[in-house]
Amino acid sequence: MAPTDTFTKLGAVNHILGNLGEYPVASLTPPYSLTVQDALSTIDRVLATTLQRGWSWNTETRMLTPDVDGHIEMGPEFLSVTSAVPADFTLTIRGGRLYRIKPYDSGDTWDGDVPVVVRVNLDFDDLPPQARTYVTLKASRHLQLRDQGDQQTLRDNADEEQRAWASLLQNETDMDRLNLHQSPHVFHIANPLHSRRR
């Protein structure tokens, strides 16, 4: 059964409960039943691995500024980091701080702003619809594989999950194409007459 409401985490949990033959819940206010806790934990695990992949909607370019001690704190909001400009070092997160890996000059102190590209952690409700649907279906199938043995239902849900994944990838392709067309450099290449008139 395809999810009818994955615009909230509650809707995602109730979709999973329905696939497990359980009654829906009215809220996600603790205390939780064991099944609801399982659903929430599985959603969070699938969400984490999905976000780690990196998407246009959780990848941002930022300028990070060191504190008075020269450190740049990187909280749980940040999943990964790379330099936004060509650099002779590699960036990572170590000990909760921005860390530079460079021969003979590695460290976590900085003497100026650092332009970076970061993958950011997002709550389920902040995902685009295609991602919420995919996470919901994948989490649901994980729990069904563990708790149920109905092979036909598992096959149907696997098919739905694959369609959701395809929709998510198509959305990413569309976003990439939109971002490409919005690039000033690409615009002037694609519109040479406009460039000459300026």
Predicted local confidence at residue 176, as pLDDT: 64
| Count of structural domains, the chain | 2
**Domain-embedded: residue 64:** yes
**Domain-embedded: residue 187:** no
Predicted local confidence at residue 173, as pLDDT: 77
Looking at the structure, tell me whether residues 42 and 140 fall in a common domain.
Answer: yes
Predicted local confidence at residue 164, as pLDDT: 67
Looking at the structure, tell me whether residues 62 and 109 fall in a common domain.
Answer: yes
Burial 183-196 (b: 16+ CB within 10 A, else e): eeeeeeeeeeeeee
Among candidate residues 120, 118, 124, the one with its CA nearest the CA of residue 139 = 124
Looking at the structure, tell me whether residues 25 and 116 fall in a common domain.
Answer: no
**Domain-embedded: residue 2:** no
Report the predicted TM-score, pTM, of the whole model to 2 decimal places: 0.73
Among candidate residues 165, 183, 174, 181, the one with its CA nearest the CA of residue 57 = 174
Predicted local confidence at residue 171, as pLDDT: 73
The SS3 assignment for 177 reads helix
Per-residue pLDDT tens listing for the chain (198 residues):
455 555 799 999 999 999 888 999 999 999 999 999 999 999 999 999 999 889 999 999 999 999 999 999 999 999 999 999 999 999 999 999 999 999 999 999 999 999 999 999 999 999 999 999 999 999 998 888 876 555 555 565 566 677 767 777 887 776 666 554 444 333 333 444 443 444
**Which single residue is written with the structure tokens 């909760």?**
96
**Domain-embedded: residue 88:** yes
Looking at the structure, tell me whether residues 49 and 142 fall in a common domain.
Answer: yes
Looking at the structure, tell me whether residues 25 and 76 fall in a common domain.
Answer: no
